[in-house]
């Protein structure tokens, strides 16, 4: 399958309309040839409304504080391909947080999508996305090591949400020791891609 055909079919998907109770809006951003593929859980309500992934406080922290790159670089379709395990905003749960995306979404779309990507590095963000790729290995263990997905290097990040306070507090080594390594990896991939 060609990527253009895949994306057209994905954008037309309304399988979860009745499940959500709102009109689904699948969201991905970037070129399938981008060197960095970033995969998180699912779009937030703000992303659902704007159509731009990580266009919120979490995204600002991710871009400027963690990656230390500009908004322009982050949204450059030739640098980042931004997607998620669940392609649409799944709605709120009873506690006020976002629901987990339905499993059918990844079954229908994610593996097909990964088959078509030509990236050099995966960045997996948050517990739900990491569980898809690595099962029940605790996130605190995953973030401290390098990994491989489909034969390509991968790193795992906690979600940059301002609400994720406990994760940050309980894992100080992530910021002092591990994150500089991840940031360098991201920068090296971006620099190498611009030299091609």
Cβ of 134: how many Cβ atoms within 10 Å? 17
- What's residue 129's pLDDT? 96
pLDDT at 196 over 80: no
Residue 111 has pLDDT above 90, yes or no: yes
Confidence bin at 133 (pLDDT 50/70/90): very high
From start to end of 70-137, where are the E strands? 80-84, 121-125
Nearest residue to 150 via CA among 188, 111, 184: 111
Percent over 90 (pLDDT), the chain: 80
The CA-atom distances, in angstroms, between 38 and each of 22, 58, 107, 161 are 26, 14, 18, 16
- Nearby residues of 31 by Cβ (< 8 Å), 6 or more positions away: 77, 78, 81
Pairing of strands 147-149, 152-157: antiparallel
The rounded distance, in Å, linking the Cα atoms of 184 and 118 is 21
The closest of 192, 189, 194 to 67, measured between CA atoms, is 189
For the record, the structure tokens of 7 come out as 């994306």
Q: Which two tokens stand for residue 184?
A: 């360098």
pLDDT exceeds 80 at position 162: no
pTM flag (> 0.85): yes
Task: Please name each of the domains of the chain with its CATH number.
Answer: 3-195 (3.40.470.10)
């Amino acid at each position: 399958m060609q990527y253009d055909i895949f994306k057209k079919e994905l954008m037309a998907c309304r399988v979860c309309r009745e499940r959500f109770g709102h009109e689904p809006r699948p969201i991905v951003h970037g070129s399938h040839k981008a060197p960095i593929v970033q995969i998180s859980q699912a779009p937030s309500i703000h992303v659902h409304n704007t159509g731009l992934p990580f266009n919120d406080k979490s995204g600002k922290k991710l871009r400027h504080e963690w990656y230390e790159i500009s908004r322009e670089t982050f949204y450059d379709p030739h640098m980042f391909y931004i997607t998620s395990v669940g392609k649409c905003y799944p709605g709120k749960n009873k506690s006020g947080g976002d629901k987990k995306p339905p499993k059918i979404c990844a079954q229908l779309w994610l593996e097909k999508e990964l088959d078509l990507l030509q990236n050099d590095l995966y960045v997996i963000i948050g517990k739900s996305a990491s569980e898809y790729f690595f099962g029940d290995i605790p996130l605190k263990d995953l973030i401290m090591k390098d990994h491989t997905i489909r034969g390509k290097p991968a790193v795992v990040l906690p979600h940059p949400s301002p609400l994720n306070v406990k994760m940050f507090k309980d894992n100080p080594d992530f910021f002092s020791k591990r994150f500089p390594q991840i940031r360098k990896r991201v920068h090296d991939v971006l620099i190498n891609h611009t030299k091609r």
